[in-house]
Amino acid sequence: MAAGAASAASFNGLFSVPAIAEETKKQGKKCILLWLCGAPSQFETWDPKPGTYTGGPFGAINTNLPGVQVSQLMPQCATIMDKLAVIRSMSTSPSEHFQGIDVLTRGDKPRPPFTRPILGSVVAQQLGQLDSPVPQFILLDPCPEGNEFKGFKAGNWAGWLGAEYGPVRAGGDYAIPNIERAESISELDHQDREALRSFLSKKFENDRKSEAAAKHNAAFNRVNGLMSCAPLFDLNTLPIADRERYGGGAFSQHALQARHLIENGSTFVMVANGMPWDNHVYQHEMHQMLVPELDNVLFQLISDLEQRGMLDDTLVIAMGEFGRSPWLNEARGRDHYPTAWSMAMAGAGIQGGVVHGATDELGVKVTEDAVDNRQLFATIFSALGIDPHEEYDLPGLPTFSRVEEGTQPIKELLKNA
């Protein structure tokens, strides 16, 4: 599937990356990734197949785009389809969570021994302000568990960019543990001891060219910034009306918090909630709860950003690591399905009101414009004004590109293209 998808990309031959980069004002671009970990079903979201044997029990509804339908579980998004870009022809390789998460958050398969940085780290490094006290890459995920995602979270996110580009993680009780200075330490003592620590530790790092010490020192720098903006992480500071509008669940509240953090100077916020979408059992019942929450969150978020004049600078992405199988298993679940699935984006350099690609009538195969992870990432980077093909030269290794093999973005999904 992936090879076919790559050749489809060459039809976008007229697209020129530097032109786009110039037109898209790079400065001030931001991104919120609603990370639907576990992988949502395309049938119950963006690519309904009502009345077919793969389509499931839910119907499809019209949207404000003529001729385009979405699942009946998404009535609010149906009213803002003109602002969304939906890809119905995602087609990727990994069918297991860990590998899928790796590919869809980093943009490509691993190339050991170096680790490709995750999307948030690249965006924070390219567009963020490292001297800002507000963390530039924040992961909001209250769930300490999450099967393979738990293991993934424990790994190296920033890869070769270095620890300072890794995420600051918050969530749980919507507060970061140990973020407040202990009462027994005065502000002066706190500053003094950190100055001493930094002096000793930096000296060790420099004298020995220690990579571990560099990570250690970078983490302390981050913490100092973080402590200075602790109130941003307190959801209680947000208007109750907003909190109610987004809904009571952790995912919804964190989406609101993501908006708040972006408004206050963060560059990339990834919102996740463990791995709730992996519905191998009772898929319909589970999706009946999960999809309406997603529908509301996307609607509120995009409407808020637009109302605040921020949508042109803020890219919102909603996706998981693959889709779900057209057929049901014995537990009335849908299993993993990377062959043909859907995702949605809005804002920044993304053209609204576009539905890209299509699947056959049962949703088994992509019939038009298959999109692989490289095309998707080239599109995301372009929409943020980041050169998708910048090269990384690492000593003793073949050259890496931000997106490999010169893969082109999907022109149809980009404004000004």
| Beta carbon nearer to other proteins, 226 or 376 | 226
* Footprint (CB under 8 A) of other proteins, residues 129-188: 154-156, 163, 166, 168-169, 176-182, 184-186
DSSP-derived pairing of the beta strands 354-356 and 84-90: parallel
| Beta carbon nearer to other proteins, 168 or 350 | 168
> Residue 212 Cβ, how far from other proteins at the closest point, in Å?
4
> Residue 349 Cβ, how far from other proteins at the closest point, in Å?
31
- Interaction of residue 111 with other proteins, rule CB under 8 A: no
| Beta carbon nearer to other proteins, 181 or 308 | 181
The phi, psi pair for 137, rounded to 5°, reads -130, 115
- Interaction of residue 234 with other proteins, rule CB under 8 A: no
- Interaction of residue 393 with other proteins, rule CB under 8 A: no
- The single-letter DSSP state of residue 276 is T
Residue from 214, 250, 27, 271 nearest 128 by CA: 27
Residue 355, helix vs strand vs coil: strand
Asked whether 341 and 349 are in contact (CB, 8 A), the reply is no
According to CB under 8 A, which one of 25, 26, 111, 197 is a site residue for other proteins?
197
Structure tokens at 108: 């490509």
- The single-letter DSSP state of residue 350 is B
Structure tokens at 347: 């804002």
- Interaction of residue 220 with other proteins, rule CB under 8 A: yes
- Interaction of residue 196 with other proteins, rule CB under 8 A: yes
Amino acid at 179: I
According to CB under 8 A, which one of 54, 132, 201, 303 is a site residue for other proteins?
201
Which span sits near other proteins by CB under 8 A: 212-220, 300-308, 341-349, 366-374?
212-220
- Interaction of residue 82 with other proteins, rule CB under 8 A: no
Could you give the maximum distance between any two Cα atoms of the chain, in Å? 69
Amino acid at 45: T
Residue 188, helix vs strand vs coil: helix
- Interaction of residue 298 with other proteins, rule CB under 8 A: no
Burial of residue 106 (CB within 10 Å: 0-12, 13-18, 19+) is buried
Question: Binding residues for other proteins, per CB under 8 A?
Answer: 94-96, 98-99, 113, 115, 154-156, 163, 166, 168-169, 176-182, 184-186, 189, 192-194, 196-197, 199-201, 203-205, 208-213, 215-220, 222-223, 226-227, 330, 335, 394-397
